[in-house]
Structure 1
Amino acid sequence: MVLDPHRWLELRRFRSLLETGAISLSEVARETGLDRKTVRKYLSAPGPATPPRRSPNGRSKARVIDEFAPLVDSMLRAEILMKAAVIHGRLTAEYGFTGNYQRVKLYVQEARPRIAEELGITPKELAGMHRRFEVIPGAQAQVDWGDEGKVLAHMGIGKVYSFHMTLSYSRDPFCCFTISQDLQTFFDCHRRAFAHFGGVPMTIVYDRTKTVVRRHVAPGDAVPLHPEAVGFAGHYDFDIDVLAAYRPTGKGRVERQVLIVRDHVLSGRSFSSIEEMDAAFAAWVPQRRAQAHRTHQQIIGERAARDHMALKPLPETSYLVAERHLRPVGKDCLVAFGGNLYSVPA
């Protein structure tokens, strides 16, 4: 069996959990609707997993989910927030459904807003409804940017940004400050975060930033990832989890952390350099780790120790990020880039 790329991306997310023993091949097979041998083929092979090639004709199979659509709709009417995995399990166990989980997931993403409208639930109310999720130590981190404005304008620096990575299990924070959000800076901040935590999480959650996503696509379609993001993730052996469109609560842990750092590190202070801002965050981290988090009611530093122990080790060498651009060569043998013209051999 050859998987289409979209299903392979879904299956790839289970690799880290399988390696740590947190889930079995049979459990992955049940979750994805795939044969156990197929799961073993793509997740148990030594070395990094690679996506399967597309079929030559590129045609998609007829959707098995269509004949079960009324049944799925009735489940959503009974519980609007029912998970696609639960619906898939019930369809398979109770109604003889033979399709895969991904098809159910895509249909649920399409049907949930429609059913919510039938029930009189507005999009705003639906967006505000969610089930809290928890992860095992080392399983996930979330990344986000913060715009800190003109805090260094008096030093001739127009705008400052804050890069944040938060470990989802413990809420242990990392932050550093930059004057750019370009590709090299983005992944350099990752390297600094990995050094801060002492390892690499299994999965990192992003929104659809241009340094991770090559272009925007319609909801439900496979997200094309930036080649450098794929290369970086492969080198450090973590999975990229791009949030679905219109999922504002998908990375609430790190978004909350942006506000916390702004209040506790930056508020009411003046700085003369980026280095001073980084030092202020480093001085505040022990205070944060000594606090009990309001959600899990445990000391952040104690859970952070378990988080750090479960992280994957750093590779021996760093990944060199390169930003690539294609430019046409004119008849005058000149290439335009960055507002300048460069000559090339005839």
Structure 2
Amino acid sequence: MIQQTNYQQLVKSLDYLKLKQMVAHLDEVVDFSINNQMSFIDTLIKLTSYEIDLREQNMIQAMVKVGAFPNLKEIKDFEFEFQPSINPQQIHDFITLRFIEHSENIVFLGPSGVGKTHLASSIGIAAAKKRTSTYFIKCHDLIQNLKRARLENRLESRLKHYTKYKLLIIDEIGYLPIDQEDAKIFFQLIDMRYEKRSTIFTTNVNFKSWDEVFQEPKLANAILDRILHHATVVTIVGNSYRLKNHLTSEDE
């Protein structure tokens, strides 16, 4: 009767501490401990591991959610055989996040539909799963957010917000032109992250034409200088994934 009371008190205490996984696995661990003559410390380690594993899993899910990725496609979902211009070993090296440790950038350059966003997102998801603060945003949306912040006199705090992420993914640079005033804001962000944080860029515009995107050659050069100084450029030459099925049916 005393043993049962102690057991009930333990369950009550674990419930009070909101250690639900420990409650759920308590009987299982106690039985395993008795049958295998485990020490008190080993039993506690085994019991608490259930709680830790769940919290780690929840934390990873939260980090991925905060990342605001357009989809949850990972590197295992990428069809490298369809894009032979891409070196799979290089992409898998990016997944190790070595480039983040050295505050380096990655630029995916290529026409629309070749997998730039998929690759950038995959690296970002891998970073988020390793609890590295990551955020994905399209260039146009980023510019609009910074522009709005400037009009509301909170540009500095918004720039700091985007600078805090260890990995920022800026998608689709060059799809829409950026006027000179907005380009200055964009430069401020790039400059604040320069040699301090890693950024992944995707673009369909050759670097020589960036002065047309930012509509100011000197500003474009200053932006490119900071982006490319510590960067790996992955140039993708191939067909569009979006046209893949159409091309296949035509070949048949």
Which category of TM-score, normalised to the shorter sequence, fits these structures?
Answer: under 0.3
Q: TM-score, normalised by structure 2?
A: 0.23
Flag the structure with higher helix content.
2
Larger radius of gyration: 2
